[in-house]
């Protein structure tokens, strides 16, 4: 497939206000404006307006939509909601053939004009306001590392009397004997996908196109590579950003990865565990707190961390089971979080050690000192994942929760007697949701998350995700038990 204009053009500075957005629309010949927002469960939604319908007044007065059609939002008798357009997010869509400007919107109650308490982006903004109110810091930087799979074919269906799925990839080790007219080999072995060059890495070009499109959208790509698993696993890392911006950027990453894959006749997924017997897909998340331009995580304690950073780690470990309801928010998430697949299931911290759930990366500058939380995945709303980690960490700082001693051994090889005192992440989404129901006060500080939001989130996860899977027989059960 040929792509024109492969050289990255100079992009205009991001608008700072509504006037500059309108000027951008006129200057770039924009035909449509696409408003986007994220629901409670991480789906990016959009509604499109002809460019002539968007004016400075649109930013001032807001635009209306039906909130009852979004999962777990408004009842039909109180359905009207308002888009509050954020001019600083205005970005020309690098994938649209027709010149289209994307603007991310916050959701506002049209009567009270208050930020909507179920809008994940508003929740993330409130978390930053809470941080400032504590006096601890004024900025949180997040650097997510999203992984994904690119497949050539995906089939699945469920019914009362059947269920099945099948995924396929030209790279998959299961295709060594397939008739591909001709089959050229070059298949990735199980756990053999980390950094092989083409032709074994058959997705190199596609990832490069994805990276180029991300940069056209204003993201800064730092690295891209094949990941460990067979069958098309990859990773594209983008530069860290302030918490809300980092979450915005992750929504762009998912949008671009999926749409570029489709351009090549393939399909991409951020599902944590689409393949049995090989590594799953995670989203290692780097974090640090700053105040007045200084990194509060740099210090003279273990691995160059400050006492503040250690307390932050302590808060995450204490609340991790509840936090996982947002950082690992699907039933499928816990098919990745199992021992033996480079999965960070043990709740401890360590320098350089990738078997620990919280790692302290080696850095060359105090400004780069940070922690890396390794158990999250990107199957939910990043605004909520980053917020939950931040609020747990702040609780640790406020209550001086020390994380204990670091564990510098390979946790995958530790004998049971040494592992027994190390806590682990939940074993299932049901366990994470139960934990959230019991341990949620740290999330409601400063009104960051409301109890109503948490109740609705828990209800949906139990009724629409946990129970439908819990109650449905699977093909593996027939394999094991049909002849009992």
Look up residue 22 and give its two tokens: 């309108």
Buried b (16+ CB within 10 A) or exposed e, 94-109: bbeeeebbbbbbbbbb
Catalytic residue (choose from 117, 186, 225, 354): 354
Catalytic residue (choose from 20, 216, 372, 395): 372
- The binding site for Mg(2+) comprises 145, 147, 227, 235, 284, 372
What Cα–Cα distance (Å) separates residue 387 from each residue in 144, 189, 196, 331, 342?
A: 13, 37, 36, 21, 25
Active site residue 227: yes
Q: Sort 197 into a burial class: Cβ within 10 Å, 0-12 / 13-18 / 19+.
A: exposed
Catalytic residue (choose from 86, 106, 119, 145): 145
DSSP track, 117-132? TT-HHHHHHHHHHHHH
DSSP label of 169: -
Catalytic residue (choose from 86, 93, 227, 278): 227
Catalytic residue (choose from 171, 235, 395, 465): 235
On whether the CB atoms of residues 316 and 373 are closer than 8 A, the answer is: yes
Catalytic residue (choose from 20, 93, 119, 147): 147
Active site residue 11: no
Kind of pairing, strands 91-92 and 44-50? unpaired
Residue found by looking up tokens 């083409």 in the block: 198
Interatomic CA distance for residues 60 and 48, integer angstroms: 18
Largest interatomic CA distance in the chain: 71
Active site residue 372: yes
Which residue, among 390, 241, 333, has the nearest Cα to 41 in the 3D structure? 333
Residue found by looking up tokens 């490069």 in the block: 208
- The binding site for L-glutamate comprises 279-280, 336, 342, 354, 374
Active site residue 117: no
DSSP label of 187: P
Residue 451 φ/ψ, nearest 5 degrees: -65, -35
Q: Sort 21 into a burial class: Cβ within 10 Å, 0-12 / 13-18 / 19+.
A: buried
Active site residue 71: no
Active site residue 114: no
Active site residue 207: no
Q: Sort 397 into a burial class: Cβ within 10 Å, 0-12 / 13-18 / 19+.
A: buried
Active site residue 462: no
Which residue, among 272, 406, 277, has the nearest Cα to 333 in the 3D structure? 272
Catalytic residue (choose from 66, 129, 455, 467): 66
Look up residue 161 and give its two tokens: 């009397």
Active site residue 455: no
Catalytic residue (choose from 284, 298, 359, 370): 284
- The binding site comprises 145, 147, 222, 227, 235, 279-280, 284, 286-288, 336, 342, 354, 367, 372, 374
- The binding site for ATP comprises 222, 286-288, 354, 367
Q: Sort 458 into a burial class: Cβ within 10 Å, 0-12 / 13-18 / 19+.
A: middle
Question: Which residue numbers are catalytic?
Answer: 66, 145, 147, 227, 235, 284, 354, 372, 374
């Amino acid at each position: 497939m040929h792509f024109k204009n492969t050289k990255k053009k100079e992009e205009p500075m991001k608008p700072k206000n509504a006037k500059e957005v309108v000027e951008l629309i006129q200057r770039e010949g924009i035909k449509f404006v696409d408003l986007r927002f994220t629901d409670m469960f991480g789906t990016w939604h959009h509604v499109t307006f002809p460019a002539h319908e968007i004016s400075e007044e649109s930013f001032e007065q807001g635009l209306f939509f039906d909130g009852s059609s979004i999962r777990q939002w408004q009842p039909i008798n109180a359905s009207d909601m308002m888009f509050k357009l954020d001019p600083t997010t205005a970005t020309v869509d690098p994938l649209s053939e027709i010149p289209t400007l994307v603007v991310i919107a916050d959701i506002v109650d049209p009567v009270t004009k208050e930020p909507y308490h179920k809008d994940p982006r508003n929740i993330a903004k409130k978390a930053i306001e809470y941080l400032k109110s504590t006096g601890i810091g004024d900025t949180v930087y997040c650097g997510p590392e999203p992984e994904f799979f690119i497949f050539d074919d995906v089939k699945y269906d469920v019914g009362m009397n059947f269920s099945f799925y099948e995924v396929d990839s030209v790279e998959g080790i299961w295709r060594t004997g397939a008739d591909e007219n001709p089959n050229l080999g070059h298949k990735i072995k199980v756990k053999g996908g980390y950094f092989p060059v083409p032709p074994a890495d058959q997705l190199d070009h596609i990832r490069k196109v994805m990276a180029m499109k991300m940069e056209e959208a204003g993201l800064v790509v730092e690295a891209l590579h094949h990941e460990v698993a067979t069958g098309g696993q990859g990773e594209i890392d983008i530069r860290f950003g302030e918490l809300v911006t980092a979450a915005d950027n992750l929504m762009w990453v998912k949008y671009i990865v999926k749409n570029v894959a489709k351009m090549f006749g393939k399909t991409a997924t951020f599902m944590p565990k689409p393949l049995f017997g090989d590594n799953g897909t995670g989203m290692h998340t780097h974090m640090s707190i700053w105040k007045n331009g200084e990194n509060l995580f740099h210090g003279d304690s273990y691995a160059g961390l400050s006492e503040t950073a250690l307390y932050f780690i302590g808060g995450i470990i204490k609340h991790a089971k509840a936090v996982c309801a947002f950082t690992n928010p699907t039933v499928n998430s816990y098919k990745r979080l199992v021992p033996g697949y480079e999965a960070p299931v043990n709740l401890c911290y360590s320098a350089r050690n990738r078997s620990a759930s919280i790692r302290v990366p080696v850095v060359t500058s105090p400004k780069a000192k940070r922690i890396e939380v390794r158990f999250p995945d990107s199957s939910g709303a990043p605004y909520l994942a980053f917020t939950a980690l931040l609020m747990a960490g702040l609780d640790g700082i406020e209550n001086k929760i020390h994380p204990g001693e670091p564990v510098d051994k390979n946790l995958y090889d530790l004998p049971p007697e040494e592992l027994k005192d190390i806590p682990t992440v939940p074993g299932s989404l049901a366990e994470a949701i139960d934990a959230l129901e019991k341990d949620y006060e740290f999330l409601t500080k400063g009104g960051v998350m409301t109890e109503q939001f948490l109740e609705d989130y828990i209800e949906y996860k139990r009724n629409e995700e946990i129970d439908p899977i819990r109650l449905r027989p699977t093909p593996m059960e027939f394999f094991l038990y049909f002849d009992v």
